[in-house]
Amino acid sequence: MESIEGITRNINESFKCPKMKKNLKVKRDYKLQFQRSNKTYLLLSRIFPLLLLLLASSCYTSKGFNYLQSDQGTLTIPLIPARYVVQPNDVLSIKVQSRDPEESAFYNSSSLENRNVEPNPASLFLSGYTVNRDGMINMANIGELKVSDLSIEEIEDLVQSEIDKQLVDATVSVKLTSFKVSVLGDVKNPGTNYIYNTQVNIFEALSAAGDLNISAKRKKIKLIRQIGDKSKVVNLDLRDPMIIHSPYYLLHPNDVLYVETSKPNLAQKNIGVFGLILSAISTTILVLNFSK
C-alpha cells in the first residue's frame, strides 16, 4: 500500500504538469474576461436607458405641429383690417393716364424709353418716388407733396386732385413698390420676398419661404414691425385659430418674421453626436477587454 507521503508527492507532481498548468491558466483568463465583459454590460445597460429617454423626449406630436388647431369643424373669425401709412424710405409708383399719352407721360416716374422693360425690385426702386426723411415726394410740374402718415388711397386722392388742375379726364394710380417681407430662422427658404399685392397674411409669407421645417417652434413666431423710428416685437402662435383676429395677422411692408427652432430638434441634433461618442466608448471598452 502506497504511503500518504507518496500520494501527496504524486499530487504535487501532477500540478507541476505543463498541461495542467495551461488548463488552470485558461480557466483564470476566462474568468477575468467574463468579469470584464460583465462590467462592460453593466456600464452600457446604464447608458442606453439615458439615450432612450433623450429619444423619447425629442419626439414630435401633432399637437405641437398643426396650424389653427380646433375641435370645431367650421370657424368664422373676423379680420382686423390692416391700414398701413407711408413712412420715410418707402418707394411709390405713380402713373398718370389721360387722353393725350404724351402729356400724361410727363408726370409718370418712368420714361417712355424704359416702358417695355420688365419690372423688378431694382427697376421699381430706380423709377419710383422715394419718400424722403421729411415724408415728402417731388413730382414734376407739381412740386413737393407731403405723403407720410397717409395711406395709399389717401395719397392717390391727393395726387389726383393736383393732376386735375392741369389735365382733363386724367386717372391716377398709386402703388407701394417697396412692400417686402423677410422670413428668417427655421424655414425651408429664408430670405426677403417682394409682395405685389395690396395685403398679405402671415401664412402667405411663410408659404413664400417654403413653409416651416418640422423642427420649427410654431407656438412662438416673432414678428418685428417698424413703427416710425421704433421697432415693435410680438410673439404669435400659429396653432391658435384666433391669430386670424390678431392685428398682426395681415402683414405690413418691411415686417420681419423670425422662426425659432424647438428644443426637440436641438436634442435630436445632439443625439447624433451623443450616439457617435457612445459608440466609440463602447467599442474602445470591448477592444481593451478582449485584447488583455
pLDDT in tens, 57-70: 555 555 677 999 98
C-alpha cell of residue 243: 391669430
Inform me whether the pLDDT recorded for 37 exceeds 60.
no
pLDDT in tens, 161-208: 999 999 989 999 999 999 999 999 999 999 999 998 889 999 999 999
C-alpha cell of residue 142: 407739381
- What are residue 212's DSSP bridge partners? 187
| E strands in the chain | 91-97, 129-130, 136-139, 143-146, 171-176, 180-185, 191-194, 216-227, 230-236, 256-261
- Taking the whole predicted model, whether its pTM rises above 0.85 is answered as no
Interatomic CA distance for residues 95 and 228, integer angstroms: 27
Q: Are 178 and 226 in contact (CB under 8 A)?
A: no
